[in-house]
Amino acid sequence: MGLLNAGRRTAIMRLMVGGEVGVRAHEWVDVDLLREGISIAIFQMVTPPLVPWQDWQLHCLVVLIALTGTDFSRNLPLVKPKKVWAIVSDIMPTLIRCFRIDQTTVVDVEQTVQTLVPLIYKGIFPTHVRDSHSFGAAMASIRASKLGDRTKQLLPSEGRAACSVQNANFLLQYWTLAAPDSMKQGFGFRLEGNTVAWDEQL
């Protein structure tokens, strides 16, 4: 949330990454410096004509974070943060085009599922995705490949992919402090009795 809300200087204390084994040490993360560094890194990957609104880099980052899984978003199977970051310059132009012109904190779910998601899987499995022009074509390519059955079984249905994208829209609204109703249709959640579940129904 701090990434999308510039204002008071923010720092987060966390357990040190890569510290000495068995030693509980902490480090501080400067959120403002992190925001600036990420914005610059992403900006350098995209040509100027594809810079349509303020904070677009961070909005794009939130979508990618959501698609790799958070407390409020169901990850795309087999899609990990390091793998996505490795292909981010290839997928960024497509991701930018998925945002709605009239509301830059919302991506078009169908367009994202049919264009961005196949491109992500093509980036992860470059030799196994021959056709990434649609979600169905990309999944069919992987299923017809020589990848193992376990990997193929983990591939998402279109409903599962749509759920993850809808969760990304919720996260965009939530992290920009728009106070969205998480159970509103279109955010990828539904009630099963008194329990909140992922909504994979198209």
Q: Is residue 15 part of a domain?
A: no
pLDDT at 71 over 70: yes
Q: How many domains does the chain have?
A: 1
CA–CA separation, 4 and 59 (whole Å): 8
Q: Is residue 38 part of a domain?
A: no
> Could you give the 3-state DSSP secondary structure of residue 169?
helix
Q: Is residue 11 part of a domain?
A: no
Q: What is the pLDDT of residue 159?
A: 97
User: How does DSSP assign 43-89, residue by residue?
Assistant: HTTS-GGG--STTHHHHHHHHHHHHH-BTTBPPPTT--HHHHHHTHH
Percentage of the residues of the chain whose pLDDT score is greater than 70: 86
Q: Out of 4-8, 123-127, 158-162, 177-181, pick the least confident.
A: 4-8
Q: Is residue 61 part of a domain?
A: yes
What residue numbers bound the domain in which 110 lies?
47-198
Q: Give the pLDDT confidence of 129-162 residue by residue, as tens digits.
A: 989 999 999 999 999 999 999 999 999 999 999 9
Q: Is residue 122 part of a domain?
A: yes
Helix (H) or strand (E) holding 150, with range, is helix 149-154
